[in-house]
Structure 1
Amino acid sequence: MGSTDSAGTSGVNDLLLAQVREAYGRVAYTHKTHEKQADLCFQKHRRQQWFLVGLTVVSSGTFLASLLGLVLDQSWSALVTSFIALAVTALNLGSKTFNFGEETQRHRETAAKMWNLRESYQSLIVDIQSKSIPLEAARAARDGLQEEAFAIYSDAPRTTGKAYLRAQEALKEREDLTFSTREIDLLLPVELRSTGERNRSGDQ
């Protein structure tokens, strides 16, 4: 009877572990997607600012009017100067409507929250696999993480397909979330490295 109960509990743990692992995968992708979206928004913000600064400098100086006066007649010179001034005004209004700087910050904040959630899911996976947490406690932890994920998703800004593709490339091809044993050892003091790496350092 005891062995049957043990087998049944093991099966439930396997199902719970599979569910938590899938949730971890979704969160990991969301975290990386928001990181990439923040990068894309920052690039747009930087281009927008440089373009605005350039047009402002050109339109505010007497150099432009003098230069245009040499190339064009007075009426065309005034028209081009007015057009550039109008472009600066439009870009100023556009920067308030499409605030890429603020959008960048929102995606970075969401990515930071997702990073913490991802690490919490990873810790729960370790606890379940090592059988160091009772089943009911694991279920309670899963439910708590689901509620936390719902709150973050509800307030998260939208991402684009381009950001998702960049996240997919980073996770699948460049393996951003994984490290070899040697890579981790090189980041740690000798005393905290794996046995083989400590021996190798000692031989050197």
Structure 2
Amino acid sequence: MNDKLVVEETVRSAFAGVSWTHKIHEKQADIYYSQFKIMEIAKIISSVLASIGILSLIISDPLWLKIISALVSGVSAFISTYYQSFKTYEQIENHKRTARELLALRDRYIHLLLKIRMNDNVADLVEEFEMLEKDKHSIYDSAPITTNKAVKMASEALKISHDNSYTDDEIDGMLPECLHKGDTHASKL
């Protein structure tokens, strides 16, 4: 196997990993956004119901109304505390930021694959790959934690069945057609 082919295989694998992680962070942001919307609606409804219950207590004084008003107020307080302690919207933004950074990095891997196809110097290709890897690890180090649900959703979206193991077809599915791997490709390197 020639040096350029080794570099290409390594870059393709790194590209797939970045594409995979990018999609996971997109899906995690989607999950948190769905939770955020549900909690926002629940917060509004519970606040309105608590206000109605308190106003009703002014007009009448049954015990059941006091109990329901107290429960609804408790739910409203729980939702507000949940927002403050878990910072759901901040988590959405962190995952979106990480996804954007990974998308930019993914595009740089595509550009490097193009350079490989254009017969650039192997030493220059390796140097650029090492810079990309350094940038990748910097992004990974500051990336927020994801859930298994986001991994499953990303897997379904990208049709990838193995963690950190990608077939040529899976990688080709993420790349522009001109950078797909084919039988004629190996002879051109």
TM > 0.5: yes
Are 2:93 and 1:105 equivalent residues in the alignment? yes
The C-alpha deviation readout for 1:93-128, integer Å capped at 9, x for no partner, is 111112221111110000000000001001101111
Mapped contact 2:53–2:65 kept (Cα < 8 A)? no
Alpha-carbon distance in structure 2 between the residues aligned to 1:24 and 1:33: 14
Q: Secondary structure at the match of 1:61?
A: helix
Q: Which residue of the partner structure matches residue 65 of structure 2?
A: 77
Q: Which residue of the partner structure matches residue 41 of structure 1?
A: 32
Q: How many residues align?
A: 167
Q: Which residue of the partner structure matches residue 48 of structure 2?
A: 57
Of 105, 123, 139, 1:152 maps to 139
Mapped contact 1:170–1:176 kept (Cα < 8 A)? no
State TM-score, norm by structure 1: 0.74
* C-alpha deviation, 1:170, in angstroms: 1.3
Alpha-carbon distance in structure 2 between the residues aligned to 1:74 and 1:47: 31
Q: Secondary structure at the match of 1:15?
A: helix
Alpha-carbon distance in structure 1 between the residues aligned to 2:94 and 2:155: 21
* C-alpha deviation, 1:129, in angstroms: 2.0
Alpha-carbon distance in structure 1 between the residues aligned to 2:117 and 2:177: 21
State TM-score, norm by structure 2: 0.80
Alpha-carbon distance in structure 2 between the residues aligned to 1:161 and 1:59: 36
Are 2:161 and 1:162 equivalent residues in the alignment? no
Unaligned runs of 5+ in 1: 1-9, 182-204
Q: Secondary structure at the match of 1:157?
A: coil
Whose relative contact order is higher, 1 or 2, with alpha carbons under 8 Å and at least 6 apart? 2
Alpha-carbon distance in structure 2 between the residues aligned to 1:149 and 1:117: 7
Q: Which residue of the partner structure matches residue 13 of structure 1?
A: 4
CA RMSD for the aligned pairs?
2.6
Are 2:105 and 1:117 equivalent residues in the alignment? yes
Q: Secondary structure at the match of 2:25?
A: helix
The C-alpha deviation readout for 1:48-91, integer Å capped at 9, x for no partner, is 1000000001111358626x95xxx7222212212211221121
Q: Which residue of the partner structure matches residue 167 of structure 2?
A: none
Q: Secondary structure at the match of 2:40?
A: helix
Mapped contact 2:110–2:175 kept (Cα < 8 A)? no
The C-alpha deviation readout for 1:10-48, integer Å capped at 9, x for no partner, is 711111111111000100000111111111110000001
Mapped contact 1:45–1:99 kept (Cα < 8 A)? no
Q: Secondary structure at the match of 1:44?
A: helix
Alpha-carbon distance in structure 2 between the residues aligned to 1:180 and 1:127: 15
The C-alpha deviation readout for 1:109-151, integer Å capped at 9, x for no partner, is 00000000001001101111221x2111111100100110011
Unaligned runs of 5+ in 2: 161-171, 179-189
* C-alpha deviation, 1:169, in angstroms: 1.4
Mapped contact 2:16–2:174 kept (Cα < 8 A)? no
Identity %: 25
